[in-house]
Amino acid sequence: MSQIIATAEPFLLLGDRSKPACLLIHGFTGTPKEMRWMGEYLNQPGFTCLGVRLAGHATRPEDMVRSHYTDWIASVEDGYHLLRGITSHIFLAGLSMGGILALLMSTRLQGVIGVVAMSTPYKLPDDPRLRHIEWISRIVQFMPKSDEEPGASWFDKEAWKDHISYPQNPVYSIGELNKLLGEMREALPKVNVPVLLMHSKDDTYVLPENMELIHSDLTNASDTTKLYITGSSHVVTRDAARQQVFESALAFIQQVGGVA
C-alpha cells in the first residue's frame, strides 16, 4: 500500500518533445496536487509537465520533520534530470517554497530557460524564536499555520475542501525553510533567465510585499515581470483566480520558449 496520500501523488504528463518541459514544484507542507491543475492546463498545448513530490511531503508530517532543505533541493534535481531525458529546455514553476526552489535552482541547473514563481516568500516574518528554532523544535514539534480558521482565506471553498496539506507546520522544518530562504536570497542576483513573479494582493499567509523584495534583487535576470492578482488566497494554483494564473504562465512560457 502506498504511503503517499491518495490524489497527492507526483505526476508526469507527456507532451510534444520538441517543446520545452515544465517542472512544477509545490509548497511547504503541500503536495504535487497543488500543481496538478496547472500541469494539466500547460499540457493541453503540448508541454510536458512533471509535478515532483518534495522529500517528506504528501505522506505524514513526521516524515517532513526528518527531511532537510538539501533534501528538497535534491527532489528538484531528480525531477530536472528526469525531464532532461525528454528535452534540454526546462521551465521551473513553483508555488510558495516551490518558488524559492525554482529561483534558486535556476542558478544551479543547466538548460533552465525561465522561472515562474508564485506566492513566493523573500524572508520569514521577524520572530526572535527563529534564532532558537532547532532547540524549540525539541520541545514543540508542530505549530499552527495561522490564527485563522483553516480555509477561511480561500475564495473557492469547494477547492479548499479538496485541498491536501499537512494541517500544522513542523517546527524543525521552519528552520530548514529559513536556511533555504537564505540560499535563495544569495542566489537572486545570479538569476539570468526570464522570471515571471505572481502574487495575490489578498494573500494573508505570505504578504504580497515579498514579491517586491524578490523583484528588487533580480538585478541580472534577462527579463522580469510582476503580476498582482486578486480574489485568491496563498494557493493561487487552486483558488478562484487560478485561470488567470494559468493563462499568464502559459503566455510567459510560450513567449520565452518561442513556441505556440
| DSSP codes joined into one string, 90-150 | EEEEEETHHHHHHHHHTTTSTTEEEEEEES--SSPPP-GGGGGHHHHHTT--EEES-SSPT
- pLDDT score recorded for residue 96: 98
Q: What is the pLDDT along the chain (260 residues), one digit of tens a residue?
A: 569 999 999 999 999 999 999 999 999 999 999 999 999 999 999 999 999 999 999 999 999 999 999 999 999 999 999 999 999 999 999 999 999 999 999 999 999 999 999 999 999 988 878 788 888 888 998 988 887 888 899 999 999 999 999 999 999 999 999 999 999 999 999 999 999 999 999 999 999 999 999 999 999 999 999 999 999 999 999 999 999 999 999 999 999 998 86
Q: Is residue 246 within 8 Å of 37, Cβ to Cβ?
A: yes
In the numeric block, which cell numbers belong to residue 189? 542576483
Break the chain into its structural domains and give their ranges.
Answer: 11-257
The angle that helices 69-84 and 171-187 make with each other, rounded to 10 degrees, is 60
CATH 3.40.50.1820 is held by the domain 11-257 = yes
Question: What single letter denotes the amino acid at residue 145?
Answer: K
- Enter the pTM of the model: 0.96
- pLDDT score recorded for residue 149: 83
In the numeric block, which cell numbers belong to residue 210? 515579498
How many CA atoms, within 13 angstroms, populate the side-chain half-sphere of residue 164? 19
- pLDDT score recorded for residue 1: 52
